[in-house]
Amino acid sequence: MFGHPSIPLSSCYAPFVAATASPPKLRTPRHAAIVRVTHWITVLCFFALLITGGEIVISHPRFYWGEVGNVMTRPLFTIPIPSSRDTVPTGYHYVMPDQNGWSRALHFEAAWVVMIAGLAYALYGLFTGHFRRNLLPEKGDRSWSSFRRVFAKSFHRAPPGEPGAEAYNVLQRTAYIAVIFVLFPLVIWTGLAMSPAFTAAAPWSVILLGGRQTARTLHFFISWLLLLFVIVHVTMIVLAGFKTRMRAMITGRVVEPPPARRKTDRR
């Protein structure tokens, strides 16, 4: 006997039997929790560092090479903007509002947070093989022709579920490896090389770079390269499918496309 005599049979099955089309399924996580958490902490810190770094530059928009740099020395180049300090010669007859206090404090706080997040991500990536498996370009892809093919293909929208849409292509992998192993370590090194407390403990960090002012100039250019990476990175995510990729980077999951209807399903 099926069901209880007082309960109509249909109400037991209602939500399940009525659904003939299979709903989209949530698959196993695409990005591990530690990758997602450290990624979004890095994004927050990056924007804090960018804004506060801009404020710090405004306090002295002249760049030098070597150890010494001040208003009495010849700059390597000058950014043609007014300064937030009236002692800095800029050619403008007014000074910008001084935002140095909070911006320096936030810059250093965000730098330590991003370093800790980066370290956790790097340890995870190295010890679990994530970098080797998912980020290092595959052997067959390490050629100019692969780069060119993927570059040309990047400019059309990848429909969700297209083969390979869930893995990183060779361009993304190269950009990620460059950011993780070259740009981020360099921006941290050049940043630490400007800190008298750090260089007192590790003088090699500034000597190897050729001086504190060289460290500052390199830090400035590497920050621009990081900003360029973020612009290209977000553009590629938009082209590959912003909603799907963002959902995966936030929740960790990808939605499986509904299975294609078999010939026998057609009426």
Chain residues in the site for ligand HEM (CB under 6 A): 31, 35, 39, 42-43, 46, 134, 168, 176, 179-180, 230, 233-234, 237, 240, 245-246, 248-249
Q: What is the nearest approach in angstroms of ligand HEM to the Cβ of residue 175?
A: 8
Cβ proximity of 32 and 252 under 8 Å? yes
Does an H or E element contain 37, and which? Answer: helix 33-59
Tokens representing 198 are 């750090």
List residues bridging with 62 in a β-sheet. Answer: 78
Q: What is the nearest approach in angstroms of ligand HEM to the Cβ of residue 155?
A: 16
Q: What is the nearest approach in angstroms of ligand HEM to the Cβ of residue 267?
A: 38
Of all residues in the shown chain, the one whose CB is closest to ligand HEM is: 46
Closer to ligand HEM by CB, 64 or 131: give it.
Answer: 131
Q: What is the nearest approach in angstroms of ligand HEM to the Cβ of residue 135?
A: 6
In angstroms, the CA 64 to CA 214 distance is: 7
Tokens 């590629």 found at: 236
List residues bridging with 25 in a β-sheet. Answer: 256
Closer to ligand HEM by CB, 39 or 149: give it.
Answer: 39
Q: What is the nearest approach in angstroms of ligand HEM to the Cβ of residue 232?
A: 10
Cβ proximity of 186 and 214 under 8 Å? no
Closer to ligand HEM by CB, 175 or 206: give it.
Answer: 175
Half-sphere exposure of 189 (CA within 13 A, CB side): 18
List Cβ<8 Å contacts ≥24 apart for 152-160. 154/236, 154/239, 154/240, 155/239, 156/239, 157/239, 157/240, 157/241, 158/239, 158/240, 158/241, 159/241, 160/241, 160/244, 160/255, 160/257
Closer to ligand HEM by CB, 75 or 241: give it.
Answer: 241
Closer to ligand HEM by CB, 107 or 245: give it.
Answer: 245
Closer to ligand HEM by CB, 82 or 160: give it.
Answer: 160
Q: What is the nearest approach in angstroms of ligand HEM to the Cβ of residue 255?
A: 13
Measured at the CA of 26, the angle between CA 23 and CA 29, to 5 degrees, comes to 170
